[in-house]
Chains A and B, each alone.
Chain A
Amino acid sequence: MAEMLGYIWHYVYTSFLRYWLKWLIRQATGKCELQRICSGYQQGAARTTKAEHSLRSSKNKVLRGALESSKDKLEQSVDQIIKEKRVQPQKDPMFKDCLHICLLQITGYSGLYISVEDLRKEVFSSENAKHEAMLLKLWDLLMPTVKLESRITKQWGDIGFQGDDPKTDFRGMGMLGLINLVFFSENYTEEARQVLSHANHPKLGYSYAIVGINLTEMAYSLLKSGALKPHFYNTVQSAPELWHFHQLYCYLAYEFDKFWVEEEPESIMQFNQYREKFHNLVQTHLQDPDVSLTLTVHSKN
């Protein structure tokens, strides 16, 4: 019964009340909801999340349509919204830039997911010279003093692949998994080697590369579900790009290792249990409106 009343209330609210309430406030303050969001909240997740919600639940096609517009048409969308909502720029000079940034962040997040998904779907192929070069680069970055004896070798196990040819380990993450591994090793070389040395610990160890691919899956799923929105809204004041996603992977790879070493699991067989625990920890961080999952060590760039 209570549930039923909840549904009715929700229906009444979203279809009538919300509209009239907004109209009343608009008359009183002289500002539309988007203006109030822009002036009332600091730049970041608090503001952008509210703006996204406001646009998505709008009855106006122009406002909802702005969420789907491409990057080069965004300014046009902003002008249309200003016209539609009869905002007077001279009275609210900050509004235009503010809304523009919010829209860059919102549409950029969807765009980022598409780019990430494309890389994930790109299957690692031994016939592709670029793929092969990247794999060998990973070895050189992690094992600068050891020469790889041949392309197919048990040595791959030393950086945590399963067998003597890494190509079968990328699986559902495709090139996204390899690119993340290389990005971490290239931009945080010292940290990556430190993590690898923990992973190669005889008792507390784990398989560096395949755990890395597993953490790529974690990053990917968080992105897909929308859970990473507050992180990107807080840390990128524009449209997030691929390298922002790789940065997030670096955070996960570094922090997971720290977590694993601190927890001292009995053996590698407990991996999924601790992965779940770590995942919950990340999810909790993402509930914080000020969240910023940034690896705080000195990167090379």
Chain B
Amino acid sequence: MGLLSILRKLKSTPDQEVRILLLGLDNGGKTTLLKQLASEDISHITPTQGFNIKSVQSQGFKLNVWDIGGQRKIRPYWRNYFENTDVLIYVIDSADRKRFEETGQELAELLDEEKLSGVPVLIFANKQDLLTAAPASEIAEGLNLHTIRDRMWQIQSCSALTGEGIQEGMNWVCKSVNSKKK
């Protein structure tokens, strides 16, 4: 590294902060995803009562990730966290076919929220490590994602357990923040 680039690095402004909201039904894998992002141990995870928050550095951004519990009882609290959200990440358990309808309804309601209007949404089709997992294309079709016109969206298959697909998803998150700011 040359002297100039070091100086430039020292001078560079502090990382831009990005507020990311992590939502989805209970047992979707939100907390595992959050811990993977922060490179933490994922073997002792328990159901989230309330919420967790972690900050991660990525591509010049400081990502403040809010992981809110997915239990039906606390879904009414989700709206308290909508304000100033830059990107919404919606996590789906791709192997829990019995609840595809429920997760689709929750997502549709979120996309109707005024405070989230225009906010880019990344859908993680999680748990692809399971043999019974539905492929992302099938989930996209089931959720009618192609009808979303009012915002940027992306579906990414991943396994929060193995880490596969997460980086690709986060790259899209950073890209969508960049293009929104322009």
**CB within 8 Å of B: which A162-202 residues:** 162-163, 168-169, 171-173, 177
Q: In the complex, which residues of chain B have a beta carbon less than 8 angstroms from the beta carbon of A267?
A: 77
A171, B47: Cβ atoms closer than 8 Å: yes
Is B52 on the interface with A (CB-CB < 8 A)? yes
Q: Which of B27, B43, B47, B80 contacts A269 (CB 8 A)?
A: B80
Q: In the complex, which residues of chain A have a beta carbon less than 8 angstroms from the beta carbon of B130?
A: none
B46, A157: Cβ atoms closer than 8 Å: no
Is B36 on the interface with A (CB-CB < 8 A)? no
Is A217 on the interface with B (CB-CB < 8 A)? yes
**CB within 8 Å of A: which B39-89 residues:** 42-47, 49-52, 70-74, 77, 80
B43, A268: Cβ atoms closer than 8 Å: no
A217, B74: Cβ atoms closer than 8 Å: no
Is A271 on the interface with B (CB-CB < 8 A)? yes
Distance (whole angstroms) from the CB of A50 to the closest CB of chain B: 31
Q: In the complex, which residues of chain B have a beta carbon less than 8 angstroms from the beta carbon of A286?
A: none
CA distance A206 to B43 in the complex (A): 24
Q: In the complex, which residues of chain B have a beta carbon less than 8 angstroms from the beta carbon of A172?
A: 42-46
Q: In the complex, which residues of chain A have a beta carbon less than 8 angstroms from the beta carbon of B49?
A: 206-207, 210-211, 214, 268, 271-272, 275
Q: In the complex, which residues of chain B have a beta carbon less than 8 angstroms from the beta carbon of A275?
A: 49
> Chain A contact residues: over half helix, strand or loop, or mixed?
helix
Query: A162-B26, A162-B27, A168-B27 in contact; A269/B74 too (CB < 8 A)?
Result: yes
B27, A163: Cβ atoms closer than 8 Å: yes
A217, B27: Cβ atoms closer than 8 Å: no
A162, B51: Cβ atoms closer than 8 Å: no
What is the interface residue range for chain B against chain A? 10 to 19
Q: In the complex, which residues of chain A have a beta carbon less than 8 angstroms from the beta carbon of B52?
A: 272
Distance (whole angstroms) from the CB of A135 to the closest CB of chain B: 16
A169, B50: Cβ atoms closer than 8 Å: no
Is A270 on the interface with B (CB-CB < 8 A)? yes
Distance (whole angstroms) from the CB of A68 to the closest CB of chain B: 25
Query: A207-B49, A217-B46 in contact; A168/B26 too (CB < 8 A)?
Result: yes
Residue of B nearest to A218 (CB): B46
Residue of B nearest to A216 (CB): B46
Q: Which of B44, B47, B77 contacts A162 (CB 8 A)?
A: B47
B51, A169: Cβ atoms closer than 8 Å: no
Residue of B nearest to A120 (CB): B44
**CB within 8 Å of B: which A230-270 residues:** 267-270
A173, B44: Cβ atoms closer than 8 Å: yes
CA distance A172 to B49 in the complex (A): 15
CA distance A271 to B44 in the complex (A): 18
CA distance A273 to B50 in the complex (A): 9
Measured CB to CB, the residues of B under 8 A from A are 26-27, 42-47, 49-52, 70-74, 77, 80
Residue contacts A-B, CB under 8 angstroms, 12 given = A162-B47, A162-B72, A172-B44, A173-B44, A173-B46, A207-B73, A210-B71, A214-B47, A268-B74, A268-B77, A272-B49, A272-B52
